[in-house]
Structure 1
Amino acid sequence: MKKVRIGAGQGFLGDSPFPALDVVRHGSVKYLCCDALAELTLAILEKLRKRSTGTGWAPDLKLYMNLLLNECVQRGVKIITSAGGLNPVGAAAEIGEIAQSLGIKGLKIAVVGGDDISSSLDTLKAGGVTFENMESGVQFDSLKREDILFANVYLGAEPIIKALALGADVVVTGRCADTALFLAPMVHELGWKLDDWDKIAAGVVCGHLMECSAQSTGGNFSGDWWEVPAMHRPGYPVVEISEDGEAVLTKPEPCGGLVSRETVTEQLVYEIGDPRSYITPDVIADFTSVRLEDLGDNRVAIKGVKGRQRPDNLKVSIGYSNGFCGEMTIRYPWPHALRKAQKAEEIIRQQLKMLPISVEEIIAEYVGINSLLGPAAVEPAEELNEVGLRMAIRTRSKREAEMFPRLFPSLALNGPPGLGAGSFGAERARELISLWSALIPRELVTATVTVLEVN
């Protein structure tokens, strides 16, 4: 029975590339799949691009390729990455330049495009696509056209499969479903039909278990996390999947981490919504059908996955400018640290009313009390050594947002006692980019594949 081993190399922009090198060297994999795009990453890339400090693709792509490309070529490991972000063509060009600098010749780099529909929004809307917000039901007309910064469709595995069929050594995509990066080489190697829903669902489940790097192999584990060994060198997940859809998830042997039914289960239910209907461009997977079996020695079997026909619509993520944020964090020491921070908040709120600032939203949180737990936090019964106050406002104009941090320095002499020296954050305003999720009929989206060869 045919099998293929696939390794995870990245879980988000900013993840560590060094465990990916362990996967290549010790994982006996044929493919290394790097998921660089979280839901908000395109907004980050757009901000970097607008500041002229970014290029539209993941800024750590260069680090990854310099570290991994030569090793992968020598071992015959193909790389699939979504680090193309808003500019996969530019990302591919950078990979080509790195290949040349490393003396690699004949490398085939495939670019998957077609996810960017920003220039077609008006035409699509005129043709009947409503772009109604799929979460709130708000109509698309509530957005100003000039505020829209990008619009990208979540593509599935098909164009990546085509790229592999064309002999690509590296495949770089823009926005696509995270699971598609991992599903594509399974379909390519094992000969699955794209309407064999159970097998496609099995591939999606495996992809979901791998897309967050070490989160399925002991990272971010909420069980007995203190017992997870050698997390200074975490082992990213490796899946060996057979043509019948059954798989085993493990990690490179020399690495730390833990693969158990518990660690894998936590990742299985991570960010899935309805477990009976995990919707991807390629299939609707039933996560309640998944059977996990702990085989010991950091190996977990994945069996029994069921799936249903893929959806008629694809998700599109639209980024739009949503004003500016002004913020500041200050800190107060014992005694009465929390009471001091509360008084400081009261002063700032009263001063805001005296200024020509139109505040659309305001937040105040106490670091050490509720900045993570929010309304679920319980006020401490005992005095704390120190408490931080973080306040932020959202405004329409940058000028108004920049005025807000200027309220805080005077608290050093004109507020509660003991304001810590050096407590103040940067006095700056940052643009806020919000995401609008909508649906588009899949037949209106045309994915493209272009193969470049490094000479």
Structure 2
Amino acid sequence: MKSVRIGAGLGFYGDSWRPVRASIERGGVRYIASDHLAELTLAILQKDRQKEQSAGFARDAVPMLLDLWPLAARHGVKFVLNAGGLNPEGAREALARAFRDQGWRACIAVVTGDSVLQRFEALRGRGEALAHMDTGADIATVRDRLVFANAYLGARPIAEALAQGADIVLTGRVADAALSLGPIVHELGWRWDDWDRLAQGLVVGHLLECSGQASGGNFGSAGEWARIPDLLHIGYPIAEVFEDGTAVITKAPGTGGRISFDTLRQQLLYEVHDPHAYVSPDVVLDMGTLRLDDEGDDRVRVAGATGARRPDTLKVVAGYHDGWMGTGVIGFSWPDAHAKCVRSAEIIKGLMAERGWPAEDANIEFIGYDSLLGAHADPAHRDDLNECFLRMTVRTSDRRIAEGFGRLFPWLGLSGPPYAGGFHGIERAKELLGIWPTLVERALIEPDIEIDVEAVA
């Protein structure tokens, strides 16, 4: 039975590509599906683009491919990556320039059409409310502050780019799993209305999209994580997908980490609200019929997923200017470390009140006590902490207040509670971008999708 092997690339902007080398050398992969765009990454790329118009893409794509392409080319491995971000053409230009400098050849495809900001008024004119998915709020409340808006595209343009001979496919915003589903459909010839097979492909893409998280990284609790072998040399997951939709998840021989029923089960439920209706642009997946059969030796067979017709809408994530953030951090040692942080927070709030500095929002956390667990932190040992750090942030529409906020903290070093330390300088104000998720009819977006394949020589 015909099959194709796909390896996981990055799981986020800034992730390591070192384990990808083993997948190419020893994992028998034909494709690497690399996910550079977490939900909030577009906000980071927008800030880059505000500083430099030619930016706006994931900058790690170029050094990654410069490092891996000679090996990939020898093994006949292609790359699919969403590193185009807000500027796919800019990403290709940077990559093509780097390849030409090395004298390398490759066909690089760019998929565009996900950016819809310039079409917002036209979309509203066509009856699209663009209301906030979670709150129902009117887009008019942020319309004049919008700086980007991108739809989650599916796997079809990726498959079409590969059919046109692309060695590297650069996209903007696509569904994470589409990076794997596109090559699967291209290689195995599945129909775009074969919902059960597409559902299986979606499962595979979902298992691969977070790099080492499916192979033992970020896994388990209560000591289970410590039994994962050799995280230093973790192998990223690899999927061998067969024509009938079944798949085997494994990793390259000789690598660390673990592929097991439990590691895959944890990744399978990651970011899933309804396991019986996991919605993607290509298919709606029901995980309730899925089977994970652990065959041992870092091999798990995946089968039985069922799918329903794809949705008529596509998710769009827009970003808008949402003020400025000021930050201050200071730490204190035992005794009474937590109490000192509480008193310091009261002093900072008093200083803000004296200056008449309003804040639309504020956050106070005590690192070493509740910065991760929040309200679930156990107070039993709160008063016996060896050390505790106060971290305060404020959100304000006034940049000057955000800039001045961090300057309130150094004074505490000599005029606040005793045994302060860990002060690491005054942080500059940071621009905040809010996120606006909404839904748009796919028929109003897909006609504008374009695929352009360029031979670099």
The interval holding the TM-score normalised by the smaller chain is: over 0.9
The residue aligned with 1:183 is 181
| CA distance in structure 1 between the partners assigned to 2:143 and 2:245 by the alignment | 46
The residue aligned with 1:332 is 332
The residue aligned with 1:121 is 120
Q: Which amino acid aligns with 2:139?
A: F
The residue aligned with 2:107 is 108
After TM superposition, the structure 1 stretch with the greater mean CA deviation from structure 2, 202-211 or 71-80, is: 71-80
Counterpart of 2:190 in 1: which secondary structure? coil
The residue aligned with 1:55 is 55
| CA distance in structure 1 between the partners assigned to 2:395 and 2:171 by the alignment | 33
Q: How does 1:73-112 map to 2 (within 5 A)?
A: 73-105=73-105, 107-112=106-111
| CA distance in structure 1 between the partners assigned to 2:130 and 2:85 by the alignment | 22
The residue aligned with 2:168 is 170
Q: Which amino acid aligns with 1:384?
A: L
Q: How large is the Cα RMSD of the aligned pairs?
A: 1.2
| CA distance in structure 2 between the partners assigned to 1:142 and 1:289 by the alignment | 42
Q: Which amino acid aligns with 1:2?
A: K
Runs of 4+ residues over 6 Å off in structure 1 = none
Deviation at 1:27, TM superposition (A): 0.9
Q: How does 1:16-95 map to 2 (within 5 A)?
A: 16-52=16-52, 55-95=55-95
Counterpart of 2:21 in 1: which secondary structure? helix
Q: Which amino acid aligns with 2:118?
A: S
The residue aligned with 1:447 is 449
Cα deviation code 1:25-76 (max 9, x no counterpart): 1110111110110000100111122233971110111221111112111211
After TM superposition, the structure 1 stretch with the greater mean CA deviation from structure 2, 438-447 or 47-56, is: 47-56
Deviation at 1:9, TM superposition (A): 1.1
The residue aligned with 2:407 is 406
Q: TM-score, normalised by structure 2?
A: 0.97
Deviation at 1:93, TM superposition (A): 1.3
After TM superposition, the structure 1 stretch with the greater mean CA deviation from structure 2, 266-275 or 373-382, is: 373-382
1:136 aligned onto 2:135: yes
What are structure 2's unaligned runs of at least 5 residues? none
Counterpart of 2:173 in 1: which secondary structure? coil
After TM superposition, the structure 1 stretch with the greater mean CA deviation from structure 2, 92-101 or 321-330, is: 92-101
Q: Please say if residues 65 and 98 of structure 1, whose CA atoms lie closer than 8 Å, have aligned partners that are also in contact.
A: no
1:148 aligned onto 2:150: no
The size of the alignment, in residue pairs, is 452
| CA distance in structure 2 between the partners assigned to 1:144 and 1:426 by the alignment | 33
| CA distance in structure 2 between the partners assigned to 1:309 and 1:425 by the alignment | 54
Deviation at 1:335, TM superposition (A): 1.0
Q: Please say if residues 240 and 247 of structure 1, whose CA atoms lie closer than 8 Å, have aligned partners that are also in contact.
A: yes
Q: How does 1:9-408 map to 2 (within 5 A)?
A: 9-52=9-52, 55-105=55-105, 107-145=106-144, 147-223=145-221, 224-381=224-381, 383-408=384-409
| CA distance in structure 2 between the partners assigned to 1:215 and 1:285 by the alignment | 21
Q: TM-score, normalised by structure 1?
A: 0.97
After TM superposition, the structure 1 stretch with the greater mean CA deviation from structure 2, 330-339 or 219-228, is: 219-228
| CA distance in structure 1 between the partners assigned to 2:49 and 2:424 by the alignment | 28
What are structure 1's unaligned runs of at least 5 residues? none
Q: Which amino acid aligns with 1:110?
A: A
| CA distance in structure 2 between the partners assigned to 1:28 and 1:438 by the alignment | 40
Cα deviation code 1:376-397 (max 9, x no counterpart): 1112435111100000100002
| CA distance in structure 2 between the partners assigned to 1:54 and 1:288 by the alignment | 45
Q: Which amino acid aligns with 1:406?
A: R
Deviation at 1:243, TM superposition (A): 0.5
Q: Please say if residues 69 and 99 of structure 1, whose CA atoms lie closer than 8 Å, have aligned partners that are also in contact.
A: no
Cα deviation code 1:286-332 (max 9, x no counterpart): 01211000000000000101000000000000000100000111000
Q: Please say if residues 407 and 426 of structure 2, whose CA atoms lie closer than 8 Å, have aligned partners that are also in contact.
A: no
| CA distance in structure 2 between the partners assigned to 1:453 and 1:355 by the alignment | 61
